[in-house]
Amino acid sequence: MADAGGSEQIKNLFDGIEIYQDIRLFSKAARDAGMAHDISPLLELNANFMETVDNRLVISIRNFDKKRSGNILVLNADKTIVYADQSFPAEDMKPFEKMLQKQYGKSTVITFLVLRRTVSRYKATMNSLIDVLASMEKSFDSQKYITLNMRFGRLYDLIEQLQDIMIRLEETQLKEMQTTYISFDYDVLKAECSYLLDRCKNRFSMLHEIAREREVQATRELNQRIEKLNEVVRKLTALTVVIMLPNLVASHYGMNFANMPELQIPWAYPAVIIVEILLMIAAILAFRKFGWI
């Protein structure tokens, strides 16, 4: 049962290919077509996937956005069954009308359209992540960095897996996907996917570079704070020594000895005070010479 939401024109163009937007109907159609395994759990995989299952070529293409689950294609010589999260506009298929008449032309076109749509979505995701990256350059946020790092990593993996599928489809020369029918468009799409992968890698590296610069800046600021703290500690130590010297003299005369001849000298008290002041001045001059004050 084909997707009831598709236009009659699309149904005519893809007569013989069943396209579903309901995963339950898609799973039932796959079982009716002879699939012994339930392939709907492929939508739970966080990866792009292509393997031969029950003598049928199964391609699962994940979307980056979890709100859009993805696409699954089941291709074989008798029937092609497709689960797509969105319908295919007739204008997307018009350029391939002649090709649809060829053997395996319909499965080739529908696979190409799914791949092209996925590349376009990955590109849009890339642009949104780059906008966030640009804001990170102005104002670094550690939590935002962790999230962005994970998203860039996931996008890079998905693009790399998609590129691998595209290369395998071309090199293995599968009859269900005749890349020779659309060699020019396919080469352009591969080049676009390769460029998108390089772009993602560069932005991923840029994000790490921003984090490293932020780490260096934070280390520099910490070192500056440590230096200021050390400077304060040195000054406090010097002042403690300066104050300790007169206290040492005063404590000497606080002792209760019976024989202290200085107590009998009239000018002894002002002399002690002068000595204390001179000791403090000498200590201050010495610490200034060494740059401690």
Q: What is the pLDDT, as a whole number, of residue 156? A: 92
Looking only at the bridges linking them, the beta strands covering 80-84 and 70-75 are antiparallel
- pLDDT, tens digit (0-9, with 9 covering 90-100), for 150-199: 889 899 999 999 999 999 888 876 777 888 888 899 999 999 999 999 99
Count CB atoms within 10 A of the CB of residue 272.
16
Q: What is the pLDDT, as a whole number, of residue 13? A: 55
Question: Residue 26 CA to chain centroid, in angstroms?
Answer: 34
In the predicted model, residues of the chain with pLDDT beneath 70 are 1-15, 66-68, 77, 173, 257-258, 292-293
Cα 288 from Cα 293, distance rounded (Å): 5
What backbone torsions phi and psi does residue 109 show, to the nearest 5 degrees?
Answer: -65, -45
Q: What is the pLDDT, as a whole number, of residue 249? A: 75
Q: What is the pLDDT, as a whole number, of residue 5? A: 44
Please report, for the chain, the start and end positions of each structural domain, with discontinuous segments joined by +.
8-218, 232-289
Q: What is the pLDDT, as a whole number, of residue 230? A: 86
Q: What is the pLDDT, as a whole number, of residue 31? A: 86
Of the candidates 121, 86, 88, 124, the residue with the CA atom closest to the CA atom of residue 106: 88
Q: Is 116 exposed, middle or buried (0-12, 13-18, 19+ CB in 10 A)?
A: middle
